[in-house]
Amino acid sequence: MTVPAGRVPGPGARGGEPASGAAGSGAAGSGGGPRPREAGQTAGARAVARALTGVLPAEAILTDPARLRTYDCDGLSHLRVTPGLVVLPETTAQVRAAVLACAEAGVPFVARGAGTGLSGGALPVADGVVIALTRMRRILRVDPADKVAVVQPGVVNTEISAAARPYGLYFAPDPSSQTVCTIGGNVAENSGGAHCLKHGFTVNHVLAATVVLPTGEVVELGSQAPDPVGYDLLGVFVGAEGTLGIATEITVRLTRAPLAVETLLAGFPGVEPAAATVSAIVAAGVVPAAAELMDALAVEAAEAAVGCGYPPGAGAVLLVELDGPRAEVAGALAEVEELCRRHGAFDLRRARDESERAALWRGRKSAFAAVGRISPDYYVQDGVVPRTVLPEALLRIGALAERAGLRVANVFHAGDGNLHPLVLFDAAVPGAAEAAERLAGRILGVCLDLGGSITGEHGVGVEKMAYLAHQFSRDDLDVMQFLRCAFDPAALANPGKLFPTPRLCGEPPGPRRGAHPLQDAGLAELY
Amino acid sequence: MPAPGAAHAAASGGGDPSGWLADCVHCGFCLPACPTYILDSAEPDSPRGRIQLIGQILDSGTVSPVQAGHLDNCLGCLACLPACPSGVRYDRLIEHARERVEEEHPRPWRERAQRALVFALFPHPRRLRLVRPLLWLYQRRLSGLVSRFLPAAVREMAALAPEVTGLTWTPVAETVPAAQPRRAVVGLVAGCVQRVFFPGVNQATAEVLAAEGCEVRTPAAQGCCGALSAHAGRLEEARRFARDLIGTFESAGVDVVVVNAAGCGAAIKEYGHLLADDPAWAARATRFAAKVRDAAEWLVEIGPRAARVPVGLSVAYQDACHLRNGQGVIAQPRALLSGIPGLDLREVAEPGVCCGSAGIYNLLQPGTASRLGHRKAEHVRETGAEVLATANPGCAMQIRQALRDSGSEVRVMHVMELLALSIRG
C-alpha cells in the first residue's frame, strides 16, 4: 500500500494519478482508479452539490474537474485521489449542512485544513466530498485572563500566537508546518513539534470544541472549566484523524510566553554520544523545551539548502532549547553545557539574541525540505522509541540502511525519542522505491521492537494503516472500532484511514456487514 | 536577509518545466505567502494549486477556461519563491504556463482587445509619449464629459494613471557626469512608464548616482525591457525587447546597469534564462544580466559618499514584490532611507503581500487588484506616515489610487526622490 516517494517521480506528480501501487490504497475501497474521475460524475456527489446550492455561495461549491484535482492530495503527495466535490464552508451551520447532505446521500466526506499532513489523513475519497475549512479562519475571542482563545478550525497555528502576543501569551504546540497548518488539522492529528517535549502536544492545549458529528448533530465536547466530569470525549476526539466528526470552534489554552529562552547548539563526533547526551540531560532532571538532533547527512542537506553554518566536521548536531524563569534557565543551561562536554561535544554555541536563535534553528527547520537538495527522492518516516534506547535505535537503523544499500538521514525530536529517518533514493533507479519502502517499514519494526510506536506525530492516515496491526492486537482494534461506530455509525467520516482492514461497521461506505464476533459473544454492542 | 536568488539557484529542476513541477513536494509553505490565497483561501488560487493546474495543462496539452482563469488570477508577485523550502522555480513555471495559455486558450474578444491595446501601448515609450497630452487634457477638462463613452478598460487605465503635471517634460540627459571623483560608469534603464509618467524619478536617480560618484549614461535609444511581455506569457516579444536592450547598453560602454523600476530589474536579471535557448545570445544575455543592479542595491554596494541634509518626514516603505521576492533586495532601500538624517522610517504591516499592481494585473484583473490595493492602503494609513516610499512605478500608481479612494493624503514617492531631496539639500 505505501509507495515511498517523498518527492513525486514522473507523471504521477502532476497527472493527478495515484502512483502505481497506490490504486486500491484503501481510500473508501474504491481505490484511486488509474484516471481521475470527472466531477459530479456520481449521483452522490451531485446530490450533495444540489442540496447545498443556496446554502453555500455558488463559488464555495467546486465541481469543475480542474479545480477538484487541486485537492487530490495533502502533504503525502504520492497518493492522489480526485474528490467528487469540494465545499468551502464559512460557518458551523454551513459545515453542518454539508455533513447532513453527505449523510442523507450516503456520501463519504473528508475534512481538510491546509493540506500539510504527511500521512494522507486528508486524502480525498474518490467521488466523495472534501469539506475544506480554510475559509473558517476567524479568531473569535482571545481572553488573556482565562488564558484561552476561541478560534475557527481554519486559523493557522501561528496566527493564534500572533493574536495572543500582545498579552504575553502564545499557543505552545509547534509542528514544523506551523506557519501553514491549521488548528483544525492540529486537533485531528494531535500535532506535536519540537517544543512538545516540555509543553505537551495539541491534546494538552485544547479545552473544548464544537463538533459536527458525522450524523449532522452539533455537540460541545470538553469545557473551559478544568477537570470536566464523565468520559473524556474531547480526549477521544483529538487525534482521531477526522474519523469522528469536524471541529468548527476550538477553545485552546494559551501559555505564558517564557521569561527567558536559551538556545544551545553543539557538534558531536557522532549520533550516539549526542543521543546519549539527551538522555543524560533528562535524567539530570532538566526538561528542555526542545532537544533536536541532526546527523551528518541531514546537516549536509541543510548546509546545501540554507548555508546554516553548523559546526564543520560534526557527525551530529544537537540543538537544545531551555525556557522558563530566568534563574531556572540559567542553572539548567550550565548543567546542559557540562553534560554536552562530558559526552564529547565540541563547538558549543549559545544564541545571544533572537536573530542568533533564528540562525541556530534555521538548519533544523529547513532540514526536511532541504533533503531534496541531496537526493532526488526521499521517504519521510516517523516512529518513536523510548529516549534511553535512541543510541541503539540509531545504530540499528544505520545497519539496516547499510544492508539495503540506501542512505538514511536522521533529523528528529530526540527529547521525545521521536525519530524522523529520511530514506533517500532515486526513483529513476528500478527497484529503488520498493527498497526504500521496505527499509522504512523495517525501521518501524525496530521502533516497535524497542518498545516504541509507529508514529510520533504524523498520524496513521492512509500511510500507516497496515502497521497499526503490528502495534495493536485484534482486540485493541475492535475496541477502537466500536468507539468509532458510536460517533459515526454509517462510516462516512474520513473512511479508509487509520484502520488496516474493513472492520465492524464497515470501512467502505455501504451497508454494514454481519455482527462482529464480540457482538456474537455478547461482549459488545453496537449503538 | 536571505537572498532568494541564491536559494533558487540550487533548485534541481534545470531548464525543464516538468523538472520544475517535480521539485514541488506539496508542503504548502507557499500558501500563507500568496495574496490570492490570503483573500479567498481556496487551493486553485494558491501557488501549490496552480502548480497542479500547470501540470494538468502540460499533461493534456489543452487549456480550459477554468484553468486559464486561475492562472490569470496569479499576480506573479513571486511571494511564493522565498517561501518555498524546495526551491521550486514558480516564476519560470508561471511564465511558461502563460505562454501555453496564450497559445491554447481562445480569449473572448474583449479580453483580446484589452490585451492588444495594453501591449500596443505600454512597452512603447514613443507611443506612451503621445498619450501624455491626451491624458493631461482628460485629467483637466474631459474626464467628466467623455469617461462614460470610453470602454471600461480604457477608463480603468486612465483612472490609474498618475497626474500629468504638464504637456512636456525633460528626459534625463544622455550623459550626466559624476559630481565627485568618478567611481564607476553606470547605465540607467529609463523604463517605459517610468520615463513618460515619472520623469522626476529618473532625474532623481541620475542626480543621486552622479552625487555618489557615478557617471550616468541613459541611452535615448533604449526601448522596453520586455518585463510586461514576459510576465504575460508573450515570451517571443520579450526576447525581442531583451536583445535590443542588451545591444543598446553594450554599446554604451558601462560598468554596471542600474534599474530603478523593480519589475524591469527583476526581468532583466532573468535575461540569461529568457535567452537560454538562443545560442547567439545566451552567453551575452547572462553576461549582461550579471551587470544589472537595482538602484538601491548598487548605492549600498558602493557606499555613501555624498553629504545628506535632514529631511523631516515620516516615511513608510513598501516593498515592491519584484524587489523583495524577485531580487531579494529588502534591506538596501531601508538602509538608504534610514541613512537620511531626520527621516522617520516606518514599516507597513504585511510587507510581503502584493499591493495588487503586479505590472498590468490591475488592468486585467481589477477586482482582485482593488481588494489588495485597499488592504495595502489601509496598512499604509495605519503607519500614520506622511509619505509612502516605494521603488516601482506600478506600485506607486496602484497605492496612490487606493489611498485617494480612501480619502488619504499620503504622498507617494520613489526612494530615489527622497534620497535626491536629502542630497540636493
Query: A9 and B55: CB-CB below 8 Å?
Result: no
Task: For residue A354, give Cα distances in angstroms to A273, A328, A367, A447.
Answer: 28, 20, 20, 36
For chain A, state the CA radius of gyration.
23
Tell me the C-alpha distance between B335 and B366, whole Å.
34
DSSP A509: S
Handedness of CA A180, A183, A185, A186 (dihedral sign): positive
Among A308, A307, A304, smallest CA distance to A319 is for A308
pLDDT digits (tens, 9 = 90+) for B42-69: 999 999 999 999 999 999 999 999 999 9
pLDDT band at A520 (very low <50, low <70, confident <90, very high): low
* Residue A36 in this model has a pLDDT that exceeds 80: no
Spell out the domains of chain B, with CATH numbers in brackets: 4-104 (1.10.1060.10), 109-160 (no CATH), 175-300 (3.40.50), 307-424 (3.40.50.1860)
Among B106, B30, B114, B20, smallest CA distance to B74 is for B30
Q: What is the mean pLDDT of residues B238-261?
A: 96
Query: B27 and A180: CB-CB below 8 Å?
Result: yes
Check residue A61 and give its pLDDT.
Answer: 98
Is A375's Cβ below 8 Å from some Cβ in B?
A: no
Check residue A370 and give its pLDDT.
Answer: 80
Among A495, A430, A398, smallest CA distance to A102 is for A495
CB pairs under 8 A between A and B: 122
Phi, psi of B348, deg, nearest 5: -95, 135
Tell me the C-alpha distance between B311 and B418, whole Å.
8
Q: What is the mean pLDDT of residues A3-14?
A: 34
Please, where are the H alpha helices in A30-182?
A: 43-52, 65-69, 92-105, 157-164
* Residue B214 in this model has a pLDDT that exceeds 60: yes
Tell me the chain B residues in contact with residue A372 when contact means C-beta distances shorter than 8 Å. Answer: 12, 23, 25, 86-87
Lowest mean pLDDT among A99-103, A304-308, B165-169, B291-295: B165-169
Is B52's Cβ below 8 Å from some Cβ in A?
A: yes
pLDDT band at B141 (very low <50, low <70, confident <90, very high): low
Q: What is the mean pLDDT of residues B216-238?
A: 94
> Using CB atoms, which residue from A8, A11, A372 is nearest to B59?
A11
Query: B41 and A368: CB-CB below 8 Å?
Result: no
Query: What amino acid is encoded at A163 in this protein?
Result: A
Tell me the C-alpha distance between B215 and A276, whole Å.
63
DSSP-derived secondary structure for A20-74: TT-TTSSSTTT---SSPPPTT-SHHHHHHHHHHBTTB-GGGEE--HHHHHTTS-S
Query: What amino acid is encoded at B381 in this protein?
Result: R
**Grid cell 523510548 in the structure block, residue:** A386
Phi, psi of A319, deg, nearest 5: -115, 120
* Residue A15 in this model has a pLDDT that exceeds 50: no
Angle between helices B331-338 and B415-424 (to 10 degrees): 30
Model-level ipTM above the cut of 0.90: no
Name the 3-class secondary structure at A352. Answer: coil
User: CA torsion A326→A327→A331→A334, rounded to 10°?
Assistant: 50
Contact by Cβ (8 Å): B262, B323:
yes
Among A494, A525, A73, B423, smallest CA distance to A504 is for A525
| All cell numbers assigned to A483 | 468507539
Which of A8, A38, A56, A67 to probe by mutation at the B interface, max B CB count within 10 Å?
A: A67
Strands A218-222 and A206-212: antiparallel
For chain B, give the percent of residues with pLDDT over 90: 73
Contact by Cβ (8 Å): B406, B170:
no
Buried b / exposed e over A379-416, threshold 16 CB at 10 Å, is: bbbbbbbebbbbbbbbbbbbebbeebebbbbbbbbbbb
> Using CB atoms, which residue from B7, B49, B55 is nearest to A14?
B55
Q: What is the mean pLDDT of residues A300-325?
A: 92
Tell me the chain A residues in contact with residue B9 when contact means C-beta distances shorter than 8 Å. Answer: none
| All cell numbers assigned to A70 | 487541486
Q: What is the pTM of this model?
A: 0.88
pLDDT digits (tens, 9 = 90+) for A203-228: 999 999 999 999 999 999 999 887 77
**Grid cell 482587445 in the structure block, residue:** B113
Contact by Cβ (8 Å): A268, A314:
yes
**Grid cell 481554519 in the structure block, residue:** A154
Tell me the C-alpha distance between A172 and A193, whole Å.
9
Query: A69 and B56: CB-CB below 8 Å?
Result: yes
Task: For residue A421, give Cα distances in angstroms to A28, A78, A244, B45.
Answer: 29, 18, 30, 33
* Residue B281 in this model has a pLDDT that exceeds 80: yes
pLDDT band at B15 (very low <50, low <70, confident <90, very high): low
Q: How far B90 CA lies from chain A's nearest CA (Å)?
A: 14
How remote is the C-alpha of A456 from its chain's centroid?
Answer: 8
Check residue B7 and give its pLDDT.
Answer: 34
Which of A7, A8, A14 to probe by mutation at the B interface, max B CB count within 10 Å?
A: A14
Angle between helices A354-370 and A296-306 (to 10 degrees): 110
* Residue A508 in this model has a pLDDT that exceeds 80: no
pLDDT digits (tens, 9 = 90+) for A451-472: 999 998 889 999 898 888 889 9
DSSP-derived secondary structure for B299-333: HHHH---S-------EEEE---HHHHTTS---HHH
Longest dimension (CA), chain B: 61
Higher pLDDT, A30 or B270: B270
Q: What angle do CA A112, A117, A122 make, to 5 degrees?
A: 35
Is B40's Cβ below 8 Å from some Cβ in A?
A: yes
Q: How far A159 CA lies from chain B's nearest CA (Å)?
A: 11
Strands B184-189 and B214-217: parallel
Kindly identify which residue of chain A lies nearest to residue B40, measuring between CA atoms. A135
Sequence-separated (6 or more) residues with CB below 8 Å from residue B129: B196
Q: What angle do CA A386, A378, A194 make, to 5 degrees?
A: 40
Tell me the C-alpha distance between A488 and A492, whole Å.
7
Query: Could you count the other beta carbons within 10 Å of the beta carbon of residue A55?
Result: 17
Tell me the chain B residues in contact with residue A77 when contact means C-beta distances shorter than 8 Å. Answer: 25-26
Query: B66 and A66: CB-CB below 8 Å?
Result: yes
Check residue B93 and give its pLDDT.
Answer: 95
pLDDT digits (tens, 9 = 90+) for A469-493: 889 988 888 889 889 999 999 999 9
Is A137's Cβ below 8 Å from some Cβ in B?
A: yes
B 64-103: CB under 8 A from A: 64, 66-67, 70, 85-87
Kindly identify which residue of chain B lies nearest to residue A8, measuring between CA atoms. B22
Tell me the C-alpha distance between B177 and B226, whole Å.
28
User: CA torsion A347→A350→A351→A352, rounded to 10°?
Assistant: -120
User: CA torsion B209→B213→B219→B222, rounded to 10°?
Assistant: -40
Query: A72 and B52: CB-CB below 8 Å?
Result: yes
Among A152, A41, A53, A153, smallest CA distance to A101 is for A53
How remote is the C-alpha of A31 from its chain's centroid?
Answer: 22
**Grid cell 459473544 in the structure block, residue:** A521
Check residue A316 and give its pLDDT.
Answer: 96
Tell me the chain B residues in contact with residue A366 when contact means C-beta distances shorter than 8 Å. Answer: 85
Tell me the C-alpha distance between B385 and B334, whole Å.
15
Q: How far B341 CA lies from chain A's nearest CA (Å)?
A: 26
Q: How far B34 CA lies from chain A's nearest CA (Å)?
A: 11
Query: A181 and B43: CB-CB below 8 Å?
Result: no
Check residue B196 and give its pLDDT.
Answer: 87
DSSP B342: T
Is B41's Cβ below 8 Å from some Cβ in A?
A: yes
User: CA torsion B258→B264→B267→B271, rounded to 10°?
Assistant: -50
- The end-to-end CA distance of chain A, in Å, is 32
Q: How far B323 CA lies from chain A's nearest CA (Å)?
A: 20
pLDDT band at B169 (very low <50, low <70, confident <90, very high): confident
> Using CB atoms, which residue from A15, A73, A368 is nearest to B59?
A15
> Using CB atoms, which residue from B25, B53, B64 is nearest to A77?
B25
Q: For residue B51, give the H/E element and its range.
A: helix B47-60
Is B27's Cβ below 8 Å from some Cβ in A?
A: yes
Q: What is the mean pLDDT of residues B354-381?
A: 94
Strands (DSSP E) contained in A356-485 are: 377-380, 383-384, 407-413, 418-419, 421-425
Is B7's Cβ below 8 Å from some Cβ in A?
A: yes
3-state secondary structure B123-168: CCHHHHHHHHHHHHHHHHHHHHHHHHHCCHHHHHHHHHCCCCCCCC
> Using CB atoms, which residue from B21, B46, B85 is nearest to A369?
B85
Query: What amino acid is encoded at A40 in this protein?
Result: G
Q: How far A8 CA lies from chain B's nearest CA (Å)?
A: 6
How remote is the C-alpha of B54 from its chain's centroid?
Answer: 24
Contact by Cβ (8 Å): A253, A205:
yes
Tell me the chain A residues in contact with residue B51 when contact means C-beta distances shorter than 8 Å. Answer: 14
> Using CB atoms, which residue from A6, A70, A369 is nearest to B53?
A70
Buried b / exposed e over A18-40, threshold 16 CB at 10 Å, is: bbebbbebbbbbbbbbeebbebb
Across chain B, mean pLDDT equals 90
* Residue B208 in this model has a pLDDT that exceeds 60: yes
